[in-house]
Amino acid sequence: MNHTTTYDQIFAQDVLQGLSSPLKTLPSKYFYDEKGDKLFQAIMALPEYYLTRTEYAILETYKAQILDRFAKSGKPFNLVELGAGNGLKTKILIQYLCDQKVEFTYFPIDISGYVLKELEEDLKEICPQVKVHPITGTYRHALKDREWDNGSPTLMLFLGSNYGNFLEEDAKELLDRISDSLRINDGLLMGFDLKKDPELILAAYNDAQGVTRDFNLNLLERINRELGGNFELDKFKHWPIYDPVSGECKSFLVSLEEQQVFIEALNKTFQFTHAEPIFTEVSKKYGLHDIDALSQEKGFKVEKNFMDDEAFFSDSLWVKS
Ligand code: TRP
């Protein structure tokens, strides 16, 4: 097999680095290939996975309150979104702005140019006059270049459990960059999955049908497909844990026996001891107090936590001070 594309090489290097470290890890961004995208769609529809539908309902209920600070000023503003994806949730906000005939420009940022193209076409359908300025690239680059910085106020969106998927240090650094990229009185709408009954949280990452298990194992399958690995999937167990103190829900794949795995693209064999874990993703849950402390630390004031009735999830509107 000939693995020549740059993308494969970056994937291969990340896999090499992850599987060579003392605590083996695989970066969660590789969940989302074609099969992973489909499995994640299925996860979002699971009864146990409360996150997506809860946030959707929050945005539907509070869209006017969230947006009116910007929409009612009578001046144009920028709506910037980190990790726009297919923008399903953002469409609620854009539809509202469109109906209110508010002047704004939408700057969706995503690593996938393909996804952004689709999103732009979708948006033109629900709102023909919408101004879209897609930015293809990493958060880091986009926050440095600030293509939206045209003197108008900005509302930045960082929805879903996106922020919670970064490990502590990376998360803090990212929030510093976000804060530096905004001006006084700009807004930041952050999605936070909230601390709650641990059983509910764990079930969301360990559903009865095993879709989440398949999603997690797809990382190994993908290495098999794209890098010529020989992982035997039934020799690894999907294992999520939730720590109610830190709020971290972590997913692992645990080796069920001592084994060796060969990866052709790396021409390398990896040893797994019996019960050795591979760490694949963190999804951190927050208390309202954590959100307050974080906002202050980063130079923001919490204007309001928009939550569902059960307080499962919060879209927190922060204002840069
Ligand atoms: N990042 C999402 C989340 O934290 C996606 C996700 C759902 C996920 N289930 C998972 C990631 C299981 C890894 C393992 O909710």
Residues 192 and 204 both lie in one domain: no
* Structural contact between residues 285 and 31, judged by C-beta atoms closer than 8 angstroms: no
Instruction: Report CA torsion sign: 124, 158, 26, 256.
Output: negative
Dump pLDDT digits (tens) for 60-85: 999 999 999 999 988 999 999 998 87
Same domain, 238 and 181: no
Q: How far apart are the first and last CA of the chain?
A: 55
Q: Are residues 17 and 81 in the same domain?
A: no
Ligand 1 close to Cβ of residue 165 (< 6 A) = yes
Q: Which atom of ligand 1 is nearest to the CA of 51?
A: 15
163 secondary structure, DSSP code? G
Same domain as 104, residue 26: no
Tell me the pairing of strands 187-193 and 154-158: parallel
Is the domain of 64 the same as that of 166? yes
Our count of domains for the chain comes to: 2
Calculate how far, in angstroms, residue 157's C-alpha sits from the geometric centre of ligand 1: 19
Asked if residue 274 belongs to a domain, the reply is: yes
| 184 and 205 share one domain | no
pLDDT value, residue 3? 46
User: Are residues 91 and 215 both part of a single domain?
Assistant: no
Q: HSE (CB half, 13 Å, CA atoms) of 260? A: 5
Residues of the domain holding 244: 3-31+200-284
Interval 166-213: pLDDT, tens: 999 999 999 999 999 999 999 999 999 999 999 999 999 999 999 999
Q: Are residues 67 and 175 in the same domain?
A: yes
Whether 218 lines ligand 1, by a CB cut-off of 6 Å, is: no
Q: Which two tokens stand for residue 268?
A: 């390398």
Query: Is position 119 within any domain?
Result: yes
How far is 286 from 130, CA to CA, in rounded Å?
34
Residue 260 Rama label (left phi>0; alpha psi -120 to 50; beta): beta
80: tokens are 């910037």
pTM of the model: 0.93
The answer to whether position 26 is within a domain reads yes
**Is pLDDT at 130 greater than 60 in this prediction?**
yes
* CATH assignment of the domain containing 143: 3.40.50.150
Residue 289 lies in a domain: no
Mean pLDDT along residues 4-27: 89
- pLDDT tens string 138-150: 899 999 999 999 9
CA of 41 to the centre of ligand 1 (A): 11
Same domain, 190 and 308: yes
Residue 176 domain-assigned (yes or no) = yes
